[in-house]
A and B are shown apart, each in its own frame.
Chain A
């Protein structure tokens, strides 16, 4: 249960985003949006403050039987200076049977997206039961954020470990239950799913608070890292035989697909754009396997929140350009005349040329192969979809 301490607009925007996720996923088991409540702040808070509203809302939820409550602040409560942490702590003392925490995510001066995410995880980790002992064959995954993807993407990480006979113990924090968090220590292997600033912060937190080692570079994307992953799993389980067998089977299927797709893709010239990260080796490897010629790799202008944590191993093999802007793309489209652009974000020039807008595939090889198939299709499609062709 989450209580948004703010006006109804904020809660509505949060709830609607969750609605979208849930409708896309068509998952009948959870309905996070209906577990979101709001203090419905109005004008009176600028005179009286909002703490009375919040206290009433929290007590309503406690009285209706809620036992796990997060209070998330919106910018209004930050501006009027409500002391939410003290109130939440006081209510927590009055109701020791209830787990209640405040996440200061108002975004005025503190609490950007990543900070709110990490702060929520930090509070959740206080639930971990220290009496639980590690068992063989269980894995914790940290930092999955497949917000707008479908259920099958979510299962990729779990399937990856199932191939090797391992089971996911806890997804921190992605559709996790309180029980999963409590039993966090059951896993004997903990890994971050994507190497980014937020995941790294979670990893550090898990290591510092729980003294659990976190693998930072284990989860693979694409065939080569999958093969390294299989090797590591063999080492971890102490039985490399089966792991080698699994890897060989996956490699075999991958090679078969590549030889089919290369019929259309081989020799085609592409520009790659990655606005947010240089961690795209999976893509460069895929394009190489498809026999495509990468003319240039444009890396977007850096944002503070997208701090680079991993650089490409192929820096010296391709023409990388940092701070790649729209004007650069316009010029490159004219001068290099690529067959296609492969980009992680749309923009106005890409609407006029043959392009694949990709998102980073899930763990393993399946998502990478799906991109290969799209590139294969793209080569026979017209440059611009008919619906865009209007006067």
Chain B
């Protein structure tokens, strides 16, 4: 099934929106606004009562998310500077004490107006920045990384002395299912090891936390695709070393344990407490699995994964070894980390399933499809798989009141729930 994925333009908007006091401003036509403002609200809901009244004016029209310059035919012919000069003060002043990042639409990027110059001329350089590069049709994850890095460079925090036992969490995008719950879990694990989490740039980070992030001793990585360049910048500019796990992101119990162990090894912290929590969860899963009647066991059944390689690798390994499920197709989406991709390919060869690599799930025998919510729902609706399991955005019809992240202990339990319920 042909699918059109989110791209770098959407990634830039969402990356800015990931900052608790940051606001993406769409410099483009109104047509780009609705969908992106919806996804940004869905990923990071911030609505407050009376918002509609507060943001009723020009460039907002009742919606606080992604104020838009509404570029029209006049601007395409005459340039957009006039509109920028008018909108910059109105939009920035609507968010006192916070900051805005202007992101241009693919079409407006071709007009070539320099937004940073306009921001400077309007006297808002300390409160607004711009992503001047055009990210059109670029992969999602690297563009997210690029935008987080743009904000970091713009703020350019002064160097501070490293504080021992402190870390930042990098590479957790707000497009990850219930990222804030996953973040809280990781924070809990790390704190139980005696480590202090200063910030999580890209996942609900404030500008104050971002400024403090440079005194961390280490950065720990969730998904490499979302932070490769940001992590390099922290290392080169601030001397902060980066801890990555060769199993990929902490998806499933095994990769989570490896992730904890790797951090313990690099920082010298004691992993016992989080390991015990993971063991508790594994015991609970054991008790449930060994005392439940289910109609169809997932054992020997085929699954397909469509995601970035940092998730596809640990998920595929875990489903295979933990539940004895067999991979039918593993597709690493654009922008995937090549090292993890290579490992996944090696793993599939090692279990004599090399054909699964890069195979279109549409032709493969697939009981379970792990993919973005949209694809998962459509595949299930059209009979392409028995069950589509939502592991990321886009997922327009997703409404979750109970938390369902894919990372950490919560994530492992969510995946098990999905696999065993109504399978």
Binding site for B on A (CB under 8 A): 6-17, 19-20, 22-24, 26-28, 31, 33-38, 40-43, 46, 74-76, 78-80, 107-109, 347-348, 351, 388, 390
Whether B4 contacts A36 by the Cβ 8 Å rule is yes
- We find that the number of chain B residues with CB closer than 8 angstroms to chain A is 40
Looking at the assembled complex, report how far the CB atom of B48 sits from the nearest CB atom of chain A, in whole angstroms.
Answer: 9
Is the CB–CB distance between A20 and B107 below 8 Å? no
Q: A28-B381, A74-B107, A108-B76 are in contact. Are A9 and B138 (CB under 8 A)?
A: no
Q: Does B35 contact A8, Cβ atoms closer than 8 Å?
A: no
A175 shortest CB reach to chain B, Å: 15
A64 CA to B169 CA, complexed, in Å? 45
Do B381 and A22 touch (CB < 8 A)? yes
Residue of A nearest to B39 (CB): A16
Given A11-B4, A34-B2, A42-B137, A28-B382 contact (CB < 8 Å): yes
Chain A residue, CB-CB nearest to B53:
A348
Instruction: Tell whether, in the assembled complex, residue B381 and residue A390 are in contact, meaning their CB atoms are under 8 Å apart.
Output: no
The residues of A that contact B107 with a CB separation of less than 8 Å are 74-76, 78-79, 108
Given A16-B374, A20-B396, also A10-B106 (CB < 8 A): yes
A108 with B134, Cβ < 8 A, contacts A9-B32, A34-B1, A46-B110 known: no
Stretch with Cβ within 8 A of A (4 or more), from B5-13, B222-230, B265-273: B5-13
Q: How far is the CA of A165 from the CA of B10 in the complex (A)?
A: 50
Task: Give bound CA distance, A17 to B397, whole Å.
Answer: 11
Q: Which of A14, A16, A17 has the most CB of B within 10 A?
A: A16
19 cross-chain CB contacts under 8 A: A7-B136, A8-B136, A9-B32, A9-B137, A10-B106, A12-B4, A12-B6, A19-B394, A20-B396, A23-B396, A27-B381, A31-B378, A41-B106, A75-B105, A76-B107, A76-B136, A107-B29, A348-B50, A348-B52
Which residues 357-395 of B have a CB within 8 angstroms of A? 374, 377-378, 381-383, 394
| Contact partner, B2, options A8, A9, A37, Cβ 8 Å | A37
Residue of B4, B6, B49, B382 with highest tally of chain A CB at under 10 A: B4
B73: chain A residues at CB < 8 Å are 108-109
Q: Is B79 an interface residue (CB 8 A)?
A: no
Q: How far is the CB of B64 from chain A (nearest CB, A)?
A: 12
Q: Does A33 contact B29, Cβ atoms closer than 8 Å?
A: no
Q: Are A15 and B53 neighbours in the complex by a CB distance under 8 Å?
A: no
- List chain B positions with a Cβ less than 8 A from chain A: 1-7, 9-10, 29, 31-32, 35, 49-50, 52-53, 56, 62, 73, 76, 105-107, 109-111, 134, 136-138, 374, 377-378, 381-383, 394, 396-397
Tell me the bound Cα distance from A46 to B6 in angstroms.
Answer: 21
Question: With A16-B35, A17-B35 in contact, is A23–B378 under 8 Å at CB?
Answer: yes
- Complex Cα gap A35–B1 (Å): 9
B134 in contact with A43 (CB, 8 Å): yes
A273 to nearest B CB, angstroms?
16
Q: How far is the CB of B364 from chain A (nearest CB, A)?
A: 16
Among A23, A37, A76, A351, which residue has its beta carbon within 8 angstroms of that of B381? Answer: A23
Residues on the B chain within 8 Å of A11, using CB: 4
Tell me the dominant secondary structure on chain B's binding face: loop
Contacts of B76 in A (CB 8 A): 79, 108-109
The minimal Cβ–Cβ distance linking A355 to chain B, given in whole angstroms, is 15
Q: CA A65 – CA B50 in complex, angstroms?
A: 54
Given the complex, which residues of B lie within 8 Å of A390, measured CB to CB? 49
Task: Return chain B residues, CB-CB under 8 Å to A36.
Answer: 2, 4
- B4 partner, pick from A8, A107, A109, beta carbons under 8 A: A8
| Complexed CA–CA distance, A290 and B270 (Å) | 72
**In the bound complex, how far is the Cα of B35 from the Cα of A62, in angstroms?**
31
Assembled-state Cα–Cα distance A31/B1 (Å): 9
- Report how far A313 CA is from B92 CA in the complex, Å: 48
CB distance from A127 to the nearest CB of B (A): 24
Q: Closest Cβ of chain B: how far from A99's Cβ, in Å?
A: 20
B396 to chain A, nearest CB (A): 5
The answer to whether B382 and A79 have CB atoms under 8 Å apart is no
Give complex CA distance A13, B138 in Å. 15
- A8-B137, A43-B136, A109-B76 given; 8 more Cβ-contact pairs under 8 Å: A9-B10, A9-B32, A19-B396, A23-B396, A38-B4, A43-B109, A78-B107, A390-B49
Check A12–B5 contact: CB distance below 8 A: yes
Using Cβ atoms and an 8 Å threshold, which residues of chain A touch B377? 19, 23
Q: Which of B4, B29, B396 sits near A75, CB closer than 8 Å?
A: B29
Provide the residues of chain B in CB contact with A348, threshold 8 Å.
50, 52-53, 56, 62
